[in-house]
Amino acid sequence: MPSTLYIIGTGPGDPELLTVKAINALKKCPVFVTPKGSPNGNSTALSIVKQAVDTRGKEIMELHFPMIKIHIGTMPITEVREAWQHAARTVLSLLEQGKDVAFPTLGDPAVYSTGYYLYENIMEIDPAACVKFISGITAMSSCSAATAIPVCLGDEMLAIIPATFRDHRLRQTLEIFDTVVLMKVHKVIPHLCTLLGELGLLGKSVLVERAGMDNERVINDLTTITEPPHYFSTIIVRKKG
Ligand SMILES: C[S@@+](CC[C@H](N)C(=O)[O-])C[C@H]1O[C@@H](n2cnc3c(N)ncnc32)[C@H](O)[C@@H]1O
């Protein structure tokens, strides 16, 4: 098998939620390339991994992926594009050296993850590069577990959306779907409270902060939130039940 990049979901924070497949891939890769949101910050994905896998002897490279709103279908700003291309070139060079590379990413790579931006940029440079995805447990699943609120049952329809985009789609989605999972909510709580109040959905909403982490918090009344919660916060709005 050629040298391979494994894009690995770490789950949302509790190291026990790393899958066996993820742990096995992490153990066998000599190099970890990990994303971090700010140049001087730490990689959350790496901190989760370190609690479950011995990283002594691993080559670890933390790369900065700017946390800027991305509108799919439009070209991201130069800073973001350059960061993605740099990460892609770094990984390709490691693969050319014959090294397997692990790219741990929070939750599941399929859900608002830098993993796919890395993948697309690698494919643009070298479509023959060997890349494999390993699923992780999503933040949504962990928030559901923390609250015992299912996200969809029977004929219910589920939507997962980022709350950061202030356009008509947020209201529309809340009107149409039976359950809406709102991600990236930390900076927009007052706006969400107003919207959910107008739609009569405040009583159906719960916020989970740092699900599965040491300081997990469940907030049933969003109007009691006075300070922005942590970035790792998700709201589940379930109309039925
Ligand atoms: C860039 S997205 C990553 C989503 C991740 N790939 C997944 O599968 O859940 C970041 C958002 O995920 C949610 N999130 C991640 N970890 C979380 C946690 N431990 N508790 C609650 N929400 C979390 C928050 O809404 C946060 O703003």
Question: Residue 80's pLDDT is what?
Answer: 78
Q: With cut-offs at 50, 70 and 90, classify the pLDDT of residue 95.
A: very high
Same domain, 15 and 78: yes
**Index of the ligand 1 atom closest to the CA of residue 109:** 6
Spacing, Cα 11 to ligand 1 middle (Å): 9
Report the percentage of the chain scoring pLDDT > 70. 100
Same domain, 67 and 108: yes
Alpha-carbon gap, residue 148 to 82, rounded angstroms: 42
Which residue, by CA, sits nearest to atom 14 of ligand 1?
232
Question: Residue 67's pLDDT is what?
Answer: 72
Same domain, 105 and 172: no
Q: With cut-offs at 50, 70 and 90, classify the pLDDT of residue 35.
A: confident
Same domain, 130 and 144: no
Question: Residue 171's pLDDT is what?
Answer: 96
Label the pairing between strands 205-209 and 217-219.
antiparallel
Average the pLDDT over 164-168 and give the result.
82
* E strand residue ranges, 58-178: 59-64, 101-105, 130-134, 158-162
Spacing, Cα 140 to ligand 1 middle (Å): 7
Same domain, 223 and 112: no
Closest CA to 140 of 102, 103, 180, 172: 180
> In this model, does residue 76 exceed pLDDT 80?
no
Q: Is the CB of 146 under 6 A from ligand 1?
A: no
Question: Residue 206's pLDDT is what?
Answer: 98
Question: Residue 126's pLDDT is what?
Answer: 97
The secondary element (H helix, E strand) that includes residue 171 is: helix 168-176
Domain boundary, last residue among 93, 108, 134 = 134
Same domain, 75 and 175: no
Spacing, Cα 98 to ligand 1 middle (Å): 33
Spacing, Cα 52 to ligand 1 middle (Å): 19
Helical ranges in 3-113 per DSSP H: 20-28, 44-50, 78-96
Alpha-carbon gap, residue 169 to 126, rounded angstroms: 36
Average the pLDDT over 63-78 and give the result.
76
Which residue, by CA, sits nearest to atom 23 of ligand 1?
232
Q: With cut-offs at 50, 70 and 90, classify the pLDDT of residue 154.
A: very high
Spacing, Cα 18 to ligand 1 middle (Å): 15
Question: Residue 161's pLDDT is what?
Answer: 95
Q: What is the pLDDT of residues 168-214, one digit of tens each?
A: 899 999 999 999 999 999 999 999 999 999 999 999 999 999 999 98
Q: What is the pLDDT of residues 3-22, one digit of tens each?
A: 999 999 999 999 999 999 99
Which residue, by CA, sits nearest to atom 1 of ligand 1?
112
Best mutation site among 233, 235, 236 for ligand 1 pocket (most ligand atoms within 8 Å of CB): 233
What does the DSSP 8-state code read for residue 195? H
Q: Is the CB of 11 under 6 A from ligand 1?
A: no
Domain range for 32 is 4-134
Q: Number of folded domains in the chain?
A: 2
Alpha-carbon gap, residue 41 to 64, rounded angstroms: 9
Q: With cut-offs at 50, 70 and 90, classify the pLDDT of residue 215.
A: very high
Same domain, 171 and 196: yes
> In this model, does residue 74 exceed pLDDT 80?
no
Same domain, 29 and 119: yes
Which residue, by CA, sits nearest to atom 17 of ligand 1?
232
Q: With cut-offs at 50, 70 and 90, classify the pLDDT of residue 66.
A: confident
> In this model, does residue 228 exceed pLDDT 90?
yes
Q: Is the CB of 188 under 6 A from ligand 1?
A: no
